[in-house]
Amino acid sequence: MGLELYLDLLSPSCRAVYIFAKKNGIPFEFQFVDLLKGHHHSKEYVEINPLRKLPSLRDGKFILSECVAILFYLCRKYSAPSHWYPPDLHTRARVDEFMAWQHTAIQLPMNKILWAKLLIPMITGQEVSAERTEQLLQEVKHSTQQFEEKFLQDKLFITGDQISLADLMALVEMMQPIGCNYNIFLNSSRLAEWRMRVELAVGSALFWEAHDRLTKLQEWDCSTLDPTVKEKIRDLLHRFK
Amino acid sequence: MLVELFLDLYSPPCRAIYIFAKKNGIPFELRPVELARGEHLKPEFLKVNPLKKVPALRDGDFLLAESVAILLYLSRKFQTAAHWYPADLQARARVDEFLAWQHAAIQLPATNVYLCKTLLPYFSGQPVDTVKLERLISRLTATLQHLDQQVLAVRPFMATEQVSLADLMAFTELMQPIAAGCEVFRDWPRLTSWRARVEAVLGPELIQEAHRLVLQPRDPREAQRDPQVAQILVHRLQERLS
């Protein structure tokens, strides 16, 4: 059995892994775990990842979760070109720095926007207050500002002249609000230009293939959602109050 | 020129770096950054880390933030013993997996319990928000359960068969709610024995040295020594806990 990647491309972490594997010609079996159908709570998937999160990787008997760990693993095992995770001590540290920071600074707030503006109203029928939404948007603005000032600055990419795992991770996460038609790249031409460079470095066809499901999210008929999953989502509501 | 480490030992990731450097005999210049005085928000520190957080590292012209990145940097530059960050592909992946997961799963809830129960009341003079605290504790409990019943059920340490960076981060983070009077180890036998194993490896003196500050009760008179700073900190804490 070859490498298996358990993915739903709605998740930014899954998109990062998918794009990286495809771009580097890493052969894998795409195991679709449909988040919209609640399949991450299925018995089969809970055996793979008891935390019920995506992405997961299975390589023979070895099972691995956490996007950052999976990207590093794939990089090493398949000897990806060194610009993805440069060997130089300082440059590598720059990638590590971003990969650590992004969990709470980028991924969380970007995802919250999608939940607040689309998924919560869609699934629960309840609106998230304008005040709370505005607070989340401010958080996002603040994070992207920090990203520009500290990580990107005036360089082409985060580590300099070439794309690395950090740019890939940053971009797929910043694309998340597109799912609810909120385009954060309109706020800054520097960010928009960087976005284009990353898309081109990855390849536009691959990039948009990976983002197809996200761009169609608003068309989702959520009446098909498993009631137990709906309950779990209702429990999340208090975080948006 | 020595590596400079900008640390506040009240902060768990700072303690992890302090312990790691000391344990491995890494020479460094300690640059204290007192969070309670708002030093992380001042212009001098922003030159070191514009993200306004500790820990931070300066190595000549090179500046670095984020505890995981700093630990990896130190382990590479000073070529520390392999068990901290094993070379084997799968073992290393396990450590990476834990280090990635712990940000939101351990550090966030563990620190939030401390902030809600101890720090916010200290600066605001207001009683603890017990509803919020209960919710924060239940999030932490979910993580403790996972650590005790899933993670430590299959191995003696968090990621591999020996102490690694994963254990260092987890240990210093789980001490934070302890400092707030929350007995996070009490109900969890595997976590308790793991704690003892980690203490044995790191050395009780070093652990005590790193945790002396956070385990001491804070002097209530110090809270308002700079009322403006206290107000800013209260606001930031409230935002973070909302």
Q: Does pLDDT of A103 surpass 80? A: yes
Q: Does pLDDT of A129 surpass 80? A: yes
Instruction: Check whether residue A62 and residue A147 sit in a common domain.
Output: no
Instruction: Check whether residue A174 and residue A102 sit in a common domain.
Output: yes
pLDDT at A187: 84
Residues of chain B with CATH 1.20.1050.10: 89-241
Across the range A127-138, mean pLDDT stands at 92
Total residue count of chain A as it appears in this document:
241
Q: Which amino acid is at A51?
A: L
Instruction: Check whether residue A25 and residue A95 sit in a common domain.
Output: no
Domain with residue A154: its CATH number is 1.20.1050.10
Residues 65-94 of chain A whose Cβ lies under 8 A from any Cβ of chain B: 65-70, 72-73, 76-77, 89-90, 92-93
The distance of A59 to chain B (nearest Cα, Å) reads 10
The distance of A93 to chain B (nearest Cα, Å) reads 6
pLDDT at B126: 93
CA distance A65 to A55: 6
CA distance B192 to B188: 6
Instruction: Check whether residue A17 and residue A134 sit in a common domain.
Output: no
Name beta bridge partners: B62: B59
CA distance A138 to A133: 9
pLDDT at A3: 98
Angle, helices B12-23 vs B67-77, to 10°: value is 10
Residues B111-130: tens digit of each pLDDT: 999 999 999 999 999 999 99
Q: Is A221 on the interface with B (CB under 8 A)?
A: no
Residues A154-195: tens digit of each pLDDT: 999 999 999 999 999 999 999 999 999 999 999 899 999 999
CB contacts of A51 in chain B (<8 Å) are 146
Phi and psi, residue B17, nearest 5°: -70, -40
Contact B12, B172 (CB under 8 A): yes
Confidence of residue A229 (pLDDT cuts 50, 70, 90): confident
User: CA of A149: which chain B residue's CA is closest?
Assistant: B50
Contact B50, A145 (CB under 8 A): no
Domain boundary among A31, A55, A80: A80
Q: Does pLDDT of A232 surpass 80? A: no
Whether B68 sits inside 8 A of A69 (CB atoms) is: no
Whether A96 sits inside 8 A of B96 (CB atoms) is: no
pLDDT at A123: 87
pLDDT at A206: 98
Instruction: Check whether residue A30 and residue A143 sit in a common domain.
Output: no
Instruction: Check whether residue A131 and residue A73 sit in a common domain.
Output: no
Give how many domains chain A has, as a whole number: 2
CA distance B113 to A108: 19
**ipTM entry:** 0.96
- Is residue A207 a part of any domain in this protein? yes
Q: Fold for B3-80, please state it.
A: Glutaredoxin (3.40.30)
CB contacts of B91 in chain A (<8 Å) are none
Residue to mutate among A52, A54, A57, A96, with most B CBs inside 10 A, is: A96
- Is residue A228 a part of any domain in this protein? no
Residues of chain B with CATH 3.40.30.10: 3-80
Whether A100 sits inside 8 A of B67 (CB atoms) is: yes
The distance of A69 to chain B (nearest Cα, Å) reads 5
Total residue count of chain B as it appears in this document:
242
Instruction: Check whether residue A205 and residue A96 sit in a common domain.
Output: yes
Instruction: Check whether residue A168 and residue A191 sit in a common domain.
Output: yes
pLDDT at B94: 98
- Is residue A134 a part of any domain in this protein? yes
- Is residue A65 a part of any domain in this protein? yes
- Is residue A189 a part of any domain in this protein? yes
Instruction: Check whether residue A126 and residue A164 sit in a common domain.
Output: yes
Q: What angle do CA A76, A79, A85 make, to 5 degrees?
A: 65
Instruction: Check whether residue A166 and residue A213 sit in a common domain.
Output: yes
- Is residue A153 a part of any domain in this protein? yes
Among the four given CATH numbers 1.10.10.60, 1.20.140.10, 1.20.1050.10, 3.20.20.80, the one describing domain B89-241: 1.20.1050.10
Name beta bridge partners: A4: A29, A58
- Is residue A25 a part of any domain in this protein? yes
- Is residue A224 a part of any domain in this protein? no
The distance of A66 to chain B (nearest Cα, Å) reads 5
Pairing assessment for the beta strands B56-59 and B3-7 based on DSSP bridges: antiparallel
pLDDT at A241: 65
Whether B92 sits inside 8 A of A150 (CB atoms) is: no
**Domain around A19:** 3-80
Instruction: Check whether residue A100 and residue A65 sit in a common domain.
Output: no
Q: Is A24 on the interface with B (CB under 8 A)?
A: no
Contact B55, B30 (CB under 8 A): no
Q: DSSP state, A176?
A: G
CA distance A42 to A48: 10
User: CA of B53: which chain A residue's CA is closest?
Assistant: A101
CB contacts of B93 in chain A (<8 Å) are 62, 64, 69-70, 72-73
Q: Counting Cβ atoms within 10 Å, is residue A228 exposed (0-12), middle (13-18) or buried (19+)?
A: exposed
Average pLDDT, chain A: 94
Whether A100 sits inside 8 A of B68 (CB atoms) is: yes
Contact B187, B145 (CB under 8 A): no
Residues A34-79: tens digit of each pLDDT: 998 889 999 999 999 999 999 999 999 999 999 999 999 999 999 9
User: CA of A145: which chain B residue's CA is closest?
Assistant: B51
DSSP letter for each residue of chain B: -PEEEEE-TTSHHHHHHHHHHHHTT--EEEEE--GGGTGGGSHHHHHH-TT--S-EEEETTEEEE-HHHHHHHHHHHTT--GGGS-SSHHHHHHHHHHHHHHIIIIIHHHHHHHIIIIIHHHHH-PPP-HHHHHHHHHHHHHHHHHIIIIITTS-SSSSSSS--HHHHHHHHHHHHHHHTT--TTTT-HHHHHHHHHHHHHH-HHHHHHHHHHHHSPP-GGGTTSSHHHHHHHHHHHHHHH-
Q: DSSP state, A237?
A: G
Q: Does pLDDT of A235 surpass 90? A: no
Residue A150, sorted as left (phi over 0), alpha (psi -120 to 50) or beta, turns out to be: alpha
CB contacts of B92 in chain A (<8 Å) are 72, 76
CB contacts of A146 in chain B (<8 Å) are 50-51
The distance of B239 to chain A (nearest Cα, Å) reads 10
Pairing assessment for the beta strands A29-32 and A56-59 based on DSSP bridges: unpaired
Angle, helices A204-215 vs A12-23, to 10°: value is 160
| pTM, two decimal places | 0.96
CB contacts of B96 in chain A (<8 Å) are 66, 68-69, 72-73
Instruction: Check whether residue A156 and residue A135 sit in a common domain.
Output: yes
Per-residue pLDDT 10s for chain B (242 aa) are 899 999 999 999 999 999 999 999 999 999 999 999 999 999 999 999 999 999 999 999 999 999 999 999 999 999 999 999 999 999 999 999 999 999 999 999 999 999 999 999 999 999 999 999 999 999 999 999 999 999 999 999 999 999 999 999 999 999 999 999 999 999 999 999 999 999 999 999 999 999 999 999 988 888 888 999 999 999 999 989 98
Q: Is A158 on the interface with B (CB under 8 A)?
A: no
Confidence of residue A111 (pLDDT cuts 50, 70, 90): very high
Domain boundary among A45, A80, A115: A80
Domain with residue A73: its CATH number is 3.40.30.10
